[in-house]
Structure 1
């Protein structure tokens, strides 16, 4: 039997070992953090693992955008075309969870979209809630990677669909440093911060990450639910979910 290759095919792939922190400021203060790992991949050169390890990472077009395209890149191109953007085949890098044992939950997937010359055209922030819905924000970050956009999507049951996001999404390097802040009439309401260190996407690195964080994406979903229950027990009122919220698999 031949030995498995040391590196999955897909030369641009990397892993970020991350700490994700959430801080709710109003009306109750609540903070928590969890550890996970995220994939950094070129949408045109997605990594392919040795067959025995494929349950540990799969990138499925059903998990992003409209869910009906033949590829994640195809779904992104349809979304961008609806906003009058054509990358001309330029490179797109994605930061997201992959499916692990057939399951994935991505609270936030980020796509850095470049044109043929390599210039950054836009960033797409795709948000998923625990109700199986998703929504995409088209961003035009400044040189520091910062952008603002009105909140348009029901995410937490404890926040209404109002306010404005301030996102800091610089292109990741050896270090990953992202943040999303929600401001409402009362000021800063919520902040999420992602910090991570880049690792090569080799088989040994993936195996170590999988052993440390088994069912990593399910653990993220369960953690969000667990902290939601704690907030309910503390008496935080639930905001009604809008009936017109985007349906699962529909780009917005």
Structure 2
């Protein structure tokens, strides 16, 4: 299991092949942390990275790990204190947006048991998938959460989510009607979670989470102007996230 905390300088790519081909790519950075012991930064650096339990799961638990354990318990899962590593965006200057947060959940002996994929959409909703990865991190699950306004809530995700190491290499395919109309990838390189590295990445990618949410909305507008039909958003009992609450 990877040592934490760590930073990853990443490139995120989305490729649509239907109903029209369209691709986007942007660079940002993400944190790999232990949700039992989130990083404690110097007071001057805290505005650049904060990890708040209210930004994940139901948002009503006292800690990140408590939120994860509560979610797992609804599926009859008890990790018995086994270690977890979490890949996420931190709050930056009091703003956070996490399209995908991943939790690699291990047994007490260190063996990987589950991966939890927590998805946030731009409407303030969030949903979690409990995944059963194979030996190389491959897993699949039915899609049942509205993310893009250009895809309905159907299909199946096929993912490759190997535990982060020196390099990050994640892939998510959406399969519908025998094809793959959407693929997302996250590729990155591990960096030490030092004050110097954080400052360098923050200067290079200021307002990093705001830039991510803005880019998603901008590309959505471009797709709409190109004539892609918008799929109605179904009413779902999804959790809500206080995206910009102080």
TM-score range, shorter chain: over 0.9
Q: How many residues align?
A: 239
- Equivalent residue for 2:66? 74
- Equivalent residue for 1:116? 108
Which residue of 214, 227, 236 corresponds with 2:228? 236
SS across alignment from 1:190: strand
* CA shift for structure 1 position 170: 0.3
For residues 18-66 of structure 1, the C-alpha deviation after alignment (integer angstroms, 9 at most, x for no partner) is 0000001100100010000000001112111100110000000010001
Is contact 1:43-1:73 (8 Å) kept? yes
| Equivalences for residues 42-81 of structure 1 within 5 A | 42-81=34-73
- Equivalent residue for 1:160? 152
Runs of 5+ consecutive residues of structure 2 not aligned to the other structure: 242-246
Q: What is the CA RMSD across the aligned residues, in angstroms?
A: 0.9
Which residue of 13, 20, 23 corresponds with 2:5? 13
Task: Give the Cα separation in 2 of the matches to 1:26 and 1:12.
Answer: 39
* CA shift for structure 1 position 245: 4.6
- Equivalent residue for 1:3? none
- Equivalent residue for 2:161? 169
* CA shift for structure 1 position 244: 2.5
SS across alignment from 2:45: helix
Task: Give the Cα separation in 2 of the matches to 1:62 and 1:38.
Answer: 18
Task: Give the Cα separation in 1 of the matches to 2:236 and 2:60.
Answer: 21
- Equivalent residue for 1:107? 99
Task: Give the Cα separation in 1 of the matches to 2:95 and 2:84.
Answer: 24
- The yes-or-no answer on 1:147 pairing with 2:139 is yes
- Equivalent residue for 2:244? none
User: Post-superposition, which runs of at least 4 consecutive aligned residues in structure 1 deviate over 6 A?
Assistant: none
Task: Give the Cα separation in 2 of the matches to 1:42 and 1:65.
Answer: 16
- Equivalent residue for 1:195? 187
| Equivalences for residues 26-41 of structure 1 within 5 A | 26-41=18-33
Which residue of 226, 241, 251 corresponds with 2:218? 226
**TM-score, normalising length from structure 1?**
0.93
- Equivalent residue for 1:207? 199
For residues 183-224 of structure 1, the C-alpha deviation after alignment (integer angstroms, 9 at most, x for no partner) is 101501100000000000000000000000000000000000
* CA shift for structure 1 position 74: 0.2
For residues 132-160 of structure 1, the C-alpha deviation after alignment (integer angstroms, 9 at most, x for no partner) is 00000000000110001000000000000
